A and B are shown apart, each in its own frame.
Chain A
Amino acid sequence: MVEENQAAEAHTLDRYGFIVSSDEHGPLRQPTRQSIEKEHERIQKWTWMLNHWQGFHHTRKFRQRVRKGIPEQFRGVVWQKLLASRVLYEHHELENPFKSVYSALLTQTNEEAAITIEKDITRTFPSHAMFRSDNTAGKDALEHNLNAFACYKPEVGYCQGMGFIDGVLLMYMSEKEAFWALRQIVVDRMPGIFNTGFPMLQVRFKQWNKLLSKREPAIFKALARHNIDASFYTTQWFMTLFIYAAPFEVAVRIFDCFCCEGVKIVFRVGLTYIAALKKTILKAPFEQVMVAIQRTPLTLELFESAIDLKLKSAEFALPDEGRKVMVR
C-alpha cells in the first residue's frame, strides 16, 4: 500500500479532484471560447439569483437553471439553501459560537456505528484527492461527520451508502456545513431510507416496479423472467442518488436536481437509463443483462434526456411528501 500512496502525488486530477483514469472521472472536456463565455454568463445569472433568492428560488425559471447545472463555484451554497440546511447551520453553529451542537456531538461515540464507519472511510472515494489513503483532511472530516450523525440520530446510526452522499457534500462545503446538509438529506429528504429494516427502500422498490411495469412493460417482464430483482440495481440509486456509480460530472448534476426537486429525479434518470438498455434487456441472456445494468456508464447526454421526462408525483409520493419544505 505504501508504494501506492507515493505514486498518488504524480496523478493528474480532473476538475473535481478525481484521478484521471478512475471510474468516477468522466470524459475530459477542453474548454472552448464559447463554453467559457457561456459559463461566465451563467455565473452572472446565478450571482443575481443568489442576491434575489427569496423572490426567485421557487420560480420555474430557477428550476430550469438548476436543471442546466449549478455553477461549480455556487454549488455548496445553493445546495445548502435548497436543502434548508443553511438555517440549521446558522442556528446551531453560529448563533452561539461557544455552543456548537456539532462540536458537542464530536465528543460522543456510537460504538457500533464507529466500527463500520472506520472500515468505509477509505472505501468511499478512493480515487479522489481529498479521500485517498494518503490524504487525511478529507477522510477525517468524513469520519467526523458520519460519527457525529450516528450520535445525533442513534435510531438511524450509520448505514453503508451515507458516506457517498457526505463525501460529495464535503467536496463543496465545510465540515460543519456538510453535517447539517447530511442531516437534512437523511432526516428530511430521504426519511427512513437508511433506517434498520429499510422501510423506505422497500417502498421505493414497489414504486419503481409499478412505474417500470407501466412505462416499460416489456423491460419489466424481461427483468422478471431473469429474476432480476429491483433491489439488485436500484438500491444504489435510491441510497446514493447515483453517486456510487455515475461519472462524477453526472452525479453532481443529479444532485443539483435532487436538492431542488427531490426524489423524482432518481425515477427519471433510472427509467431513462433502463430504457436505453432495452435491446440488451430483451434479447441478451441473464449475465449480459446484469452486466449491462451495472456497468453501462450513465452519460451526460442520457441525464439531459431524463430531466424533462414527465412523471406524475403521485407515482412516488410518500404519504407525507408534497408538503412544502420551508426554504430560506
Chain B
Amino acid sequence: MAESEEYYDYLFKLVLIGDSGVGKSNLLSRFTRNEFLYESKSTIGVEFATRNLKMEGKTVKAQIWDTAGQERYRAITSAYYRGAVGALLVFDITKRATYDNVDRWLKELREHADPDIAIMLVGNKTDQPHLRGVSTAEAQQKAREAKLSYFETSALSGDNVEASFTELVKEIYSIASRAQIDVAGSSWVPTQFRPDHAESVPLGGPAKPASNGGCC
C-alpha cells in the first residue's frame, strides 16, 4: 500500500499535532505502513512518512509530519508548520486533559501555520471505550464551533484511521483543484500544491530561496 511511487500530481504536507501520548506516532505508522508498534519511543525531533492516495484519477502524495507533543517543544516547531496545508489535531478520548488542550493547539496553529490550513480534530483510542473521558457528542460540538471536521479513531485496531486521513486529504484536494480551475487557462497552481519532482520542495510556500535554513 505504501509503495511510494515516484509520480504524483499533488503533494500535501500534513502535520500531526496534539499532546504527548495521544497516539500521533502510531496513527502515522498505522496510516503509512499499516503498523501499530507496541514498543515505540517517544518522539524527539521530527519524523515523517508518506503515502500516495488516488483522488478522481489524480495521485496525491500525503507527506505527514510528526513531532514531540510536550508543551515546551513548541519553542522549536515553527519550521515544522512551514508549508503545511493540513493538520490532524489529535487528542486521547480516555484522557480529558488532552481534550482540554485542544484550544491551545488551535491557537498554536493560528500563530504558526498558514491561515488557510485545513484542520481535522481526531479523538484517538476508541478501542478503550470503558476508559472514555470525552463523549463523541461533546467533541463533535467543539469541532462544529471551530468549523473543523471530527473523526474518532483507534491506531491500535486501525479503526477509522484510513477514513480520517483520507477525508482530510479530500478536503484539501477539493480546495486545491478548485484553485486550479479558478484560474483556468493559466497553468497557475498555488505554490503549496505544486508537485515538484525535480527538487521536491516540501511544499514550503513560496520557498524563500535564500532562507538560511537555519534556526527559527
Instruction: Point out residues on A near B: beta carbons under 8 Å.
Output: 1, 4, 115-116, 119-120, 122-124, 126-127, 132-133, 159-161, 163-164, 195-198, 201-202, 205-206, 209, 220, 223-233, 235-236, 239-240, 244, 285-287, 290, 294
Contact = CB atoms under 8 A, between A and B. Distances in A.
B20 to A, nearest CB: 6
Given A115-B97, A230-B215, A286 B40 contact: no
Contacts of A228: 213
Contacts of A287: 4, 48, 50, 63, 200
Contacts of B44: 160-161, 164, 235-236, 239-240, 244
Given A122-B39, A160-B44, A197-B75, 19 more contacts: A119-B42, A126-B38, A127-B39, A133-B39, A160-B20, A164-B44, A198-B73, A198-B75, A206-B215, A209-B212, A226-B202, A229-B79, A230-B215, A231-B80, A231-B216, A285-B199, A286-B202, A287-B48, A287-B200
Contacts of A163: 42
B213 A160 contact: no
Contacts of A285: 197-200
A327 to B, nearest CB: 29
A231 B202 contact: no
B200 A286 contact: yes
Contacts of B97: 115
B76 A231 contact: yes
B20 A226 contact: no
A205 B214 CA distance: 7
B207 interface: yes
A225 B201 CA distance: 8
A319 B83 CA distance: 36
Given A123-B40, A123-B41, A227 B204 contact: yes
Interface in B73-128: 73, 75-77, 79-80, 82-83, 97
